[in-house]
Structure 1
Amino acid sequence: MKLNRFQKILLWLIGISLSLSLILNVVSVTTPFSEISRQGYNVFSMLKYSLIDYPVTTVTDFFTSFSRLWQVRQENDLLRTQVDQIASLQGQLAEAERQIEELKQIADLKTIVSDYDLIPSTVLSRTQEAWNNLLTIDVGSADGVGLNYAVITPKGLVGKVTKVNEHTSTVKLITAEDGLNKVSVKIEIDEGKTVDAILVRYDSNEQAFVMQLLTSGATVTEEMRVVTSGMGGVFPSGLLVGTVSKVEELSNAVGMNIYVRPSADFQSFNYVCVVRRQGASQ
Structure 2
Amino acid sequence: MPSFFRRKRLMTVLIGFVILVVLIGFSMRDRSELTIPEKFIQDTVGWAQTIFHSPVQLVTNTANNIQDMFNVYEQNEVLKARLAEYKGLIQENQQLKKDNEELRATIDKTNSLSDYTPIHATVIARSSERWFKQMTINRGEEHGIEKDMAVITSEGMVGKIKSVSAFHSTVQLLSGFDRSNKISSWVLREDKENAFGLIEGYDMESGKLLLGGIKQDVELNKGDVVISSGLGGVFTKNLRIGKIDEVVNDQFGLTKTAYVEPFADLFDINHVMVVDRKMDTITDEEQNGEEEQ
Equivalent runs, 1:229-268 vs 2, <5 Å: 229-250=229-250, 252-268=252-268
CA distance in 2, matches of 1:219, 1:52: 97
* TM-score scaled by length of structure 2: 0.74
Q: Pick closer, same or farther for the CA change 1:143–1:191 going to 2, 3 Å.
A: farther
Equivalent runs, 1:70-85 vs 2, <5 Å: 70-85=70-85
User: Shift of residue 238 of structure 1?
Assistant: 0.6
Structure 2 residue 152 is the aligned partner of structure 1 residue 118: no
The answer for the alignment partner of 1:13 in structure 2 is none
* TM-score scaled by length of structure 1: 0.76
The DSSP-based 3-state class of the residue aligned with 2:167 is coil
Q: Pick closer, same or farther for the CA change 1:136–1:88 going to 2, 3 Å.
A: same
CA distance in 1, matches of 2:260, 2:133: 18
The answer for the alignment partner of 1:133 in structure 2 is 133
Contact 1:248 1:258 in 2 (8 A): yes
Matched AA of 1:232? G
The answer for the alignment partner of 2:64 in structure 1 is 64
CA distance in 1, matches of 2:263, 2:47: 90
CA distance in 2, matches of 1:209, 1:54: 80
The answer for the alignment partner of 1:161 in structure 2 is 161
Structure 2: gaps (5+ residues) = 1-19, 28-34, 281-293
Contact 1:138 1:167 in 2 (8 A): yes
Name the larger-Rg structure: 2
The answer for the alignment partner of 1:103 in structure 2 is 103
CA distance in 1, matches of 2:251, 2:137: 43
CA distance in 2, matches of 1:279, 1:116: 5
The answer for the alignment partner of 2:144 in structure 1 is 144
CA distance in 1, matches of 2:224, 2:58: 84
Per-residue CA deviation, residues 209-254 of structure 1 (Å, 9 max, x unaligned), is 2222366643222221111111111110110111111111245432
Comparing 234-243 and 88-97, the one that deviates more? 88-97
The DSSP-based 3-state class of the residue aligned with 1:175 is helix
Q: Pick closer, same or farther for the CA change 1:176–1:62 going to 2, 3 Å.
A: closer
Structure 2 residue 187 is the aligned partner of structure 1 residue 187: yes
CA distance in 2, matches of 1:213, 1:179: 12
Equivalent runs, 1:169-248 vs 2, <5 Å: 169-190=169-190, 193-213=193-213, 217-248=217-248
Matched AA of 2:139? V
Matched AA of 1:159? G
CA distance in 2, matches of 1:190, 1:32: 118
Contact 2:155 2:263 in 1 (8 A): yes
Q: Pick closer, same or farther for the CA change 1:192–1:105 going to 2, 3 Å.
A: farther
CA distance in 2, matches of 1:220, 1:45: 102
Contact 2:161 2:169 in 1 (8 A): yes
Comparing 214-223 and 36-45, the one that deviates more? 36-45
Contact 1:149 1:234 in 2 (8 A): yes
Matched AA of 1:258? A
User: Shift of residue 37 of structure 1?
Assistant: 7.9
User: Shift of residue 177 of structure 1?
Assistant: 4.5
User: Shift of residue 279 of structure 1?
Assistant: 5.1
User: Shift of residue 46 of structure 1?
Assistant: 4.8
The DSSP-based 3-state class of the residue aligned with 1:244 is strand
